[in-house]
Structure 1
């Protein structure tokens, strides 16, 4: 039995990583190793027992069956050539929350068994796969980072926001907001509010973001 495994730490919660993984149609756009993953009928999405066809960069295709699907935690599938006695594989993608759930340790690996497993290892095929896993992990980290670009509304939903009025400018009120999250931000909110208005409801503000390193 042979086994390979690669891990990477990504500065996003497991929910974001899982969202990218489940968006199968987007895989060809960001994944330079697994260039296609298609769920086979009668299923339309990944589920325990569903079959999927995976294409890797050298146009080799493999059909596997999902054995474990735990949202935001683990995806696992199995495949074989002819019969498990000849060549059997088990692939896994695990997501482990770290840094109080703000980061994720993503691990993918594969276990090989059967008569052909030692031959594949001797021919360097497992090393090639491991190099592909390293690249895919980096691709995943990159696409998650791009999708996690600053969104003020997302910060408001998930973090404590402290508003402190700092003054007046013409007919507009300026507020200073300190976002308490992984990265501290200072956001200057310009709320258009007439000085002679008694309304307490403030219109949707314009945002000017200044990242503090």
Structure 2
């Protein structure tokens, strides 16, 4: 048999197996994403002595993030529902870049996006910033993320670093907004 025929025969046997394996892995990821061992939620908050408008302005001024934000170092993209951002973040000693899609933008109230690692169901994160008015000149910023997927159960140290980074960002935003007010 000519060499080209053997290679073709080899690929004809291997490719369907690889595709089947990927399909099974993807189905398992989707099923597993609905169980408690594949889900973890983080939530942090801070009281900021300023208006919701001022907090929103700083939170959505992505170009200024490198100047003050210890967690999310760089954001590029158009701010609009359904738009994809490119985000570079630091959690502990790790730097990660991901491309989430914006799910909600409610000025002076909420910014929420959803990101995936590779394909949905492996490691997904729905991140949100919620600004809650508490009265004259005072708001609560709640930063949270719900992680789902097969790799969540193996990501304890990364998620612990992420929670610490949420708190660092919250405090840096508080300081920036309160100094400008």
Instruction: Say yes or no: TM over 0.5.
Output: yes
* 1:80-111 Cα distance to aligned partner (Å, 9 max, x none): 112222111100000000024x2110010100
Residue matched to 2:68: 30
TM alignment of 1:39-118, pairs within 5 A: 39=77, 45-57=78-90, 58-100=94-136, 102-118=137-153
- The structure, 1 or 2, with the larger RCO (C-alpha pairs under 8 Å, 6+ apart) is 2
Distance 1:59 1:88 in 2: 17
Q: Comparing both structures, which one devotes a greater share of its residues to helix?
A: 2
**TM-score with structure 1 setting the length:** 0.64
Unaligned runs of 5+ in 2: 1-38
What RMSD, in angstroms, separates the aligned Cα atoms of the two structures? 1.0
- In the aligned structure 2, how far is the partner of 1:26 from the partner of 1:89? 24
In 2, Cα distance between the equivalents of 1:61 and 1:6? 22
TM norm structure 2:
0.75
- Equivalents in 2 of 1:141, 1:127: separation in Å? 22
The runs of 5 or more residues in structure 1 that have no matched partner are: 40-44, 149-213
Of structures 1 and 2, the larger Rg is shown by 1
Runs of 4+ in structure 1 off by over 2 angstroms are none
